[in-house]
Amino acid sequence: MSITVRQDDLSSTEVQSLIAEHLSGMQSNSAPGHVHALAIEGLQSPNVTFWVAFIDGMLCGCGALKELDPLTGEVKSMRTRAAFLRHGVGQAVLDEIVRTARQRGYSRLVLETGASPGFVSAHTLYQRNGFE
């Protein structure tokens, strides 16, 4: 089973469905007014690069890198579909985000994630990769 990660323009209905799934999950696991996930329009902004991940041709996850300033990037919209959890999808997408941030010369890479139990897996992934 091989994971392929590539940039995407969010034009396909399949990718848009994944973003809708992501936003729904963020809303159900976050307090009202504390959802900082980007909708499709925000992910299509010129300062955002968006990636999708596939396993055996099936869309299984996504993530994005938002440029906050010339030296700072932010990890955004990390999502793995439930059927593909614990297959390395999040790690593969995060690896691509980190690689791109380094290529761009960012000195800081930041992220926000929720504090509820629904975000434990995200915390584990980010801590394993040196985020505090």
Q: Is the pLDDT of residue 32 over 80?
A: no
- Angle, helices 89-103 vs 120-128, to 10°: value is 50
pLDDT of residue 99: 98
Task: Give the pLDDT band (50/70/90) at residue 123.
Answer: confident
Domain 3-128: which CATH number of 3.30.930.10, 3.20.20.140, 1.10.3470.10, 3.40.630.30: 3.40.630.30
For the segment 99-118, the average pLDDT, to the nearest whole number, is 87
Q: Is the pLDDT of residue 57 over 90?
A: yes
Q: Is the pLDDT of residue 70 over 70?
A: yes
Q: Is the pLDDT of residue 85 over 80?
A: yes
This prediction's pTM? 0.89
Taking the CA atoms of residue 24, residue 39, residue 114 and residue 109 in that order, the dihedral angle to the nearest 10 degrees is 150
Q: Is the pLDDT of residue 118 over 90?
A: no
Percent of the chain residues topping a pLDDT of 70? 89
pLDDT of residue 7: 98
Report how far residue 77's alpha carbon sits from residue 36's, in angstroms, rounded to the nearest whole number.
Answer: 9
User: Tokens standing for 118?
Assistant: 């629904």
For the segment 83-111, the average pLDDT, to the nearest whole number, is 96
Encode 46-63: b = buried (16+ Cβ within 10 Å), e = exposed: eebbbbbbbbeeebbbbb
